[in-house]
Amino acid sequence: MLKKQVLSPGIKRFELDAAEIARKALPGQFVVLRVNEEGERIPLTVADTMPDKGILVIVFQEAGKSTKLLGSLNEGDSILDLIGPLGRHSHIEKFGTVVCIGGGVGTPEIFPVARALKQSDNKVISIIGFRSQDLILMADEMKSVSDELIVATDDGSNGNKGFVTDMLKKVIDRGEKIDHVFAVGPVIMMKMVSKTSEPYKIPTVVSLNPIMLDATGMCGVCRVDVGGESKLACVDGPEFDGHKVDFDGLMARLRTYLPEEKLSLEQYEAAKPKGGCCGGKGGCCA
C-alpha cells in the first residue's frame, strides 16, 4: 500500500502498487483481495486507477471483521493476494444526458463511471447522497466530472434534505430528457432508484454487490435473478439492468451469513489491543 486516507468515519481509501491491474482495469470492474492466510476473499470495486504510475485505488467501508482488518493496514504494508480486474466494465458511450447516482460508499465507485461518461461527451448530472453532512465523500471530485452536482443528506444537515431518489425525481420532473441512469450504492437505494426511473422508461444500470467467493464464475453464490434468468454477478455483471433485477432476492441472500459475520467481528474486536490498532494515534481507527 502506497497511500492511506480516511475519507470519512469508517471509510478508507487505499492507493495500491498494482501496475498490471492498474493498466487493465476499466470503470465498473472490481478486484478481489485477501489480507492474510486466514482471510476471506473480499470483492471491491475499482475506485480509480493511475495507469502511468501503476496505482490502483480502492475505497471501502469498514463493516465486518474482514474490512476492519483491511482498514487496519498501514502505508507500506502488503496485501497477500490481489486479483483483477474482474467482471465486465461499464458500457460507456455518448448517451446524451446521464444521471450518475452514488449512495454513501457507492460514491467513490460511481466516480470513474461519471468521469468516463463525461469524457465521452455526455452531459453528466450527478446525485450523491449521505446520511449526514459529516459523511459526505468525494464531492469535489464528483463536481469536477459533472455538469451539475446535487449533494443530498438524509437529515438535511447540508441544507439539502432528501434521498437520492427524491433528487432524481426532481431532475426528471424539471422536464429535461434523461437518456441513462447509473446507480451505485446500498441495494435498497439501487432498488428505489430503479423504481423511480422505471415509469419514465429511462434505462438504468445498477452495480450489484452480492456475496462472492471465487468471483471468477466458479461457485455460483453471486447468482441473481435478472429478468427471470439466473445470472452470475461476477462474470455476467456486476452491472445489470435495474428494471429487471430481483432486488428482494438479492437482499435476502446478502443476509446468509449475518450470525457468522457478527461472531467474527465480536472476536476480532475482543482480541484487539485497547485504543485500536494504532494505539489511538493514527487515523486508522477513526
Partner 1 sequence: MREQDPQVRARNFEEVPYGYTPEEAVEEAKRCLKCKKPSCVQGCPVNIDIPGFVGQIALGNFWEAMKVMKTTNTLPAICGRVCPQESQCEGSCVLAKKMEPVAIGNLERYIADWEAQQNECVMCEMKPRTGKKVAVVGAGPAGLTVASDCAKMGHSVAMFEALHKPGGVLVYGIPEFRLPKAIVEREVNFVRSMGVDLQLNYVVGKLKTLDDLLQEFDAVFVGTGAGKPSFMGIPGENCLGVYSANEYLTRSNLMKAYLFPRYDTPIVRGKRVATIGGGNVAMDSARTALRLGAEKSILIYRRSREEMPARTAEVHHAEQEGIEFNLLTNPVRYIADEKGWVKAVECLRMELGEPDASGRRRPVPVKGSEFQIPVDTVVVAIGNSPNPLIAQTTPGLETAKHGNVVADPKTGRTSKQGVFAGGDIVTGAATVILAMGAGRLAANSIDEYVRTGQW
Site for partner 1 in 112-151 (CB under 8 A): none
Region binding partner 1 by CB under 8 A among candidate stretches 49-57, 176-184, 191-199, 250-258:
250-258
DSSP characters over 89-134: PP-----SEEEEEEEGGGHHHHHHHHHHHHHTT-EEEEEEEESSGG
The verdict on 97 binding partner 1 (CB under 8 A) reads no
* Site size with partner 1, rule: CB under 8 A: 41
The verdict on 17 binding partner 1 (CB under 8 A) reads no
**Are the CB atoms for 86 and 216 separated by under 8 Å?**
yes
222 is in an annotated binding site: yes
The verdict on 51 binding partner 1 (CB under 8 A) reads no
Min dist. Cβ of residue 25 to partner 1 (A): 9
- The residue behind cell 462472492 is 212
* Helix, strand or coil, per DSSP, at residue 53: coil
The verdict on 244 binding partner 1 (CB under 8 A) reads no
Q: Which listed residue (235, 277, 278, 286) binds partner 1 by CB under 8 A? A: 235
Residue 269 burial (CB count, 10 A): 11
Burial of 258 from C-beta contacts in 10 A (0-12 / 13-18 / 19+): exposed
The verdict on 249 binding partner 1 (CB under 8 A) reads yes
The verdict on 100 binding partner 1 (CB under 8 A) reads no
The verdict on 216 binding partner 1 (CB under 8 A) reads yes
**For 58, left (φ over 0), alpha (ψ -120 to 50), or beta?**
beta
What nine digits make up the cell of 65?
A: 471483521
Min dist. Cβ of residue 20 to partner 1 (A): 6
Q: Which listed residue (1, 17, 41, 54) binds partner 1 by CB under 8 A? A: 41
* Helix, strand or coil, per DSSP, at residue 170: helix
Task: Spell out a b/e string for 182-210, using b for 16 or more CB atoms within 10 Å of the CB, else e.
Answer: bbbbebebbbbbbebbeeeebebbbbbbb
Q: Which listed residue (27, 71, 84, 104) binds partner 1 by CB under 8 A? A: 84
**Cis peptide upstream of residue 186 (ω within 30 degrees of 0):** no
Q: Which helix (H) or strand (E) holds 58?
A: strand 55-61
29 is in an annotated binding site: no
Region binding partner 1 by CB under 8 A among candidate stretches 6-14, 121-129, 168-176, 222-230:
222-230
Q: Which listed residue (51, 96, 156, 220) binds partner 1 by CB under 8 A? A: 220
CA distance 270 to 265: 8
Q: Which listed residue (53, 170, 255, 281) binds partner 1 by CB under 8 A? A: 255
Site for partner 1 in 59-78 (CB under 8 A): 65-66
Region binding partner 1 by CB under 8 A among candidate stretches 31-39, 110-118, 175-183, 198-206:
31-39
C-alpha Rg value of the chain to the nearest Å: 19
Provide the binding-site residues for partner 1, judged by CB under 8 A. 20-21, 24, 34, 38-41, 65-66, 80-86, 213-214, 216-221, 223, 225, 230, 232, 235, 249, 252-253, 255-257, 260-261, 263-264, 267
Binding-site entries for [2Fe-2S] cluster:
219, 222, 234
